[in-house]
Amino acid sequence: MYFNTHTHLNSEELYHQRDVLIKKARDHGITDIIVAGYDLQSSRLAVKIANEYSRVYATVGISPNDCLETTDECYKEIEEMLSDPNVVAVGEIGLDYYWDSVPRDKQKAVFIKQIEIAKKHDIPIVIHARDAYEDTFHILQQSAHRGVMHCYSGSVEMAKRFVEVGFDISLAGPVTFKNAKIPKDVAMKIGIDHLMIETDCPYLTPHPFRGKLNEPANVVYIAQEIAKLKDMEIDDVARITAFNAKELFGIK
Ligand SMILES: [Zn+2]
């Protein structure tokens, strides 16, 4: 019923518990899970996990925080991984001016190159943007492609602009935080037809589990909060956000 569009079961914290965590998620009604890559090693691992479990999918890509050493060989491997039927997107890719761990020109070059690869293979993109929404927007607008803004934390106005150029908005744990006015505003004002839900686990654990390790099953709390904010039934939030994800990622 629930589609968790962004997890890191490929992370050190979760990888070795993946069997238990996936079973627990299933017990909570999470039918579909995406494992997102952020560098070559984590992308390979995401593909491996996607091939171990049914209805678990992978995205492959190099994130802005991990792109300093990216070479043509890396792009070649990312492209090769796209031939696996369980790989549903290129990502997470984007710009991160919060950590600013890689020069911005390099971040942009790696981001644009991976968008080109995704376009060539007609596969969507999963965007990581932090403190870089304006530059991210201009690159995506020019790309004329499709995808999702993962763990979106920008303004409502910015979210509307992303939707206008073909990108959905995925909400994570912060929407459940008591003082998180902006994510709650986004949940209220962006139409359910453009929303997805995710945990980005092991990070960003939702209320009431803040401080504990986050896991895929917790996506239920994101859906619950959106249902409350939009005055909708939680089942409808689950069903429609899952539909949106399946449409974007081409999953039957
Ligand atoms: Zn992530």
Pick the CATH number of 2-249 from 3.30.1240.10, 3.20.20.140, 3.40.50.2300, 3.40.50.360: 3.20.20.140
Helix or strand or coil: residue 240?
helix
Q: How far is the CA of 85 from the centre of ligand 1 (A)?
A: 21
In this structure, the number of other CB atoms found within 10 A of the CB of residue 247 comes to 13
DSSP code for 144: T
Phi, psi (degrees; rounded to nearest 5) at 42: -70, -30
Query: What pLDDT is attached to residue 100?
Result: 87
Distance from C-alpha of 148 to C-alpha of 24, rounded to nearest angstrom: 26
**Residues at Cβ < 5 Å from ligand 1 ion:** 36, 200
Ligand 1 centre distance from Cα of residue 239 (Å): 23
**Beta pairing partners, 36:** 59
Q: Using the mean position of ligand 1's atoms as its centre, give its distance from the Cα of residue 37 in Å.
A: 8
- Return the percentage of the chain with pLDDT > 70, whole number: 100
Q: What is the per-residue pLDDT across 79-96, written as a single tens digit (0 to 9) for each?
A: 999 999 999 999 999 999
Q: How far, in Å, is the centroid of ligand 1 from the Cα of 213?
A: 15
Closest CA to 62 of 126, 2, 1: 126
The predicted-structure confidence for 190-246, as pLDDT tens digits, reads as follows 999 999 999 999 999 999 999 899 999 999 999 999 999 999 999 999 999 999 999
What is the Å distance from ligand 1's center to 242 Cα?
A: 18
Other CB atoms within 10 A of residue 34 CB: 30
Distance 164 CA to ligand 1 centre (A): 23
Any idea where the domains of the chain sit in the sequence?
2-249
Q: How far is the CA of 8 from the centre of ligand 1 (A)?
A: 6
* Separation of CA 38 and ligand 1 centre (Å): 7
In three-state secondary structure terms, 11 is: coil
Residue 25: which of 204, 217, 229, 228 has the closest Cα? Answer: 217
**Distance from the CA of 156 to the center of ligand 1, in angstroms?**
21
CA-CA distance, 200 to 63, in Å (whole number)?
A: 14
83-142 tens-digit pLDDT: 999 999 999 999 999 998 899 999 999 999 999 999 999 999 999 999 999 999 999 999
Spacing, Cα 69 to ligand 1 middle (Å): 19
